[in-house]
């Protein structure tokens, strides 16, 4: 599909606040054809060569030449998809870019430079990076990008968004299902606990009755025990009574024989 409508977004810059603003006029720019970077413990400078409707053009050197030089050319159908790197304090204590890495739709270049504790990424998402802007003095203080979105890339971005939204929706549904199941489970537990409490209450109500019954039984037991005790005493008296009776019989017999 032909890409008719074009939207250009200015993203960034990231890095320090020193130096002066550097920019390029993006109108009529078709594509980047060459990148040159001087680097050492900082990114000393950046130069970008691009294809314009009126032919090839270059930016000024953003920074001052020093350190090592790396240059790379992009193929006709090649475009930059993201610029990554780190920024941080230079030995002079100024925040500048300290490493840079370029990714294209075909390969990647860098990283150039190793310092910097603050990472950054300037992604084109599904568009193309067709230009740069930033700040520079002696070094490259800050860098930003121009991203060209085509009808196609916007459609792709939209499709990605839709896909993300679908995934998010599915995740939420799953989460809601889980929460519902948890809630059901908790309700079940609550019901069980409530019925347990109910049956404990009933048992509790029976307690005084049981206590009264027990007290009653204790009373009866005591009575029975004392009855047994008195029967035992009576039982112990029996032989004495029998002996007395026998004695009396003897006396009676004697008296009868004497008569």
* Min CB(147)–ligand GYP separation in Å: 25
* Min CB(124)–ligand GYP separation in Å: 26
152: number of Cβ within 10 Å: 13
Measured from the CB atom, the residue of 22 and 31 that comes closer to ligand GYP is 22
Measured from the CB atom, the residue of 127 and 134 that comes closer to ligand GYP is 134
> Do residues 103 and 86 make contact, with C-beta atoms less than 8 angstroms apart?
no
Whether the link from the prior residue into 13 is cis, omega within 30° of 0, is yes
Applying CB under 6 A, the residues found at the interface with ligand GYP are 18-19, 92, 94, 96, 136-139, 141
Alpha carbon distance 107, 78 (integer Å): 9
Q: What is the largest CA-CA distance in the chain?
A: 178
Measured from the CB atom, the residue of 99 and 150 that comes closer to ligand GYP is 99
Measured from the CB atom, the residue of 12 and 18 that comes closer to ligand GYP is 18
* Min CB(52)–ligand GYP separation in Å: 27
226: number of Cβ within 10 Å: 10
Q: Select from 60, 56, 2, 62 the least CA-distant residue to 29.
A: 56
* Min CB(90)–ligand GYP separation in Å: 7
Alpha carbon distance 45, 70 (integer Å): 11
Measured from the CB atom, the residue of 96 and 147 that comes closer to ligand GYP is 96
Question: What residue number has its CB nearest to ligand GYP?
Answer: 18
* Min CB(138)–ligand GYP separation in Å: 4
Give the tokens for residue 106.
Answer: 């075909």
CA–CA distances in Å: residue 245 to residues 3, 239, 240, 241, 251: 142, 10, 9, 6, 10
* Min CB(104)–ligand GYP separation in Å: 27
DSSP 77: T
Measured from the CB atom, the residue of 64 and 70 that comes closer to ligand GYP is 64
| Backbone phi and psi for residue 168, each to the nearest 5 degrees, phi listed first | -60, -45
């Amino acid at each position: 599909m032909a890409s008719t409508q074009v939207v250009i977004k200015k993203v960034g810059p990231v890095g320090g606040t020193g130096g002066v603003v550097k920019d390029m006029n993006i109108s009529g720019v078709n594509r980047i054809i060459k990148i040159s970077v001087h680097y050492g413990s900082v990114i000393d400078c950046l130069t970008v060569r691009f294809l314009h409707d009126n032919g090839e053009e270059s930016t000024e050197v953003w920074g001052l030449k020093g350190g090592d030089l790396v240059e790379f050319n992009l193929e006709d159908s090649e475009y930059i998809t993201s610029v990554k790197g780190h920024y941080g304090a230079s030995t002079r204590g100024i925040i500048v870019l300290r490493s840079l890495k370029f990714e294209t739709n075909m390969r990647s270049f860098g990283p150039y430079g190793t310092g910097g504790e603050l990472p950054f990424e300037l992604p084109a998402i599904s568009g193309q990076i067709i230009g740069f802007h930033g700040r520079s003095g002696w070094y490259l203080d800050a860098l930003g990008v121009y991203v060209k979105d085509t009808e196609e890339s916007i459609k792709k971005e939209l499709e990605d968004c839709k896909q993300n939204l679908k995934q998010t929706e599915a995740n939420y549904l799953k989460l809601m299902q889980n929460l519902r199941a948890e809630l059901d489970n908790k309700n079940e537990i609550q019901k069980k606990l409530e019925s347990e409490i109910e049956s404990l209450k009933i048992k509790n109500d029976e307690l005084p009755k049981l206590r009264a019954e027990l007290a009653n039984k204790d009373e009866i037991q005591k009575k029975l025990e004392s009855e047994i005790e008195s029967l035992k005493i009576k039982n112990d008296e029996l032989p004495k009574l029998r002996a007395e009776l026998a004695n009396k019989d003897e006396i009676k017999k004697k008296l009868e024989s004497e008569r």
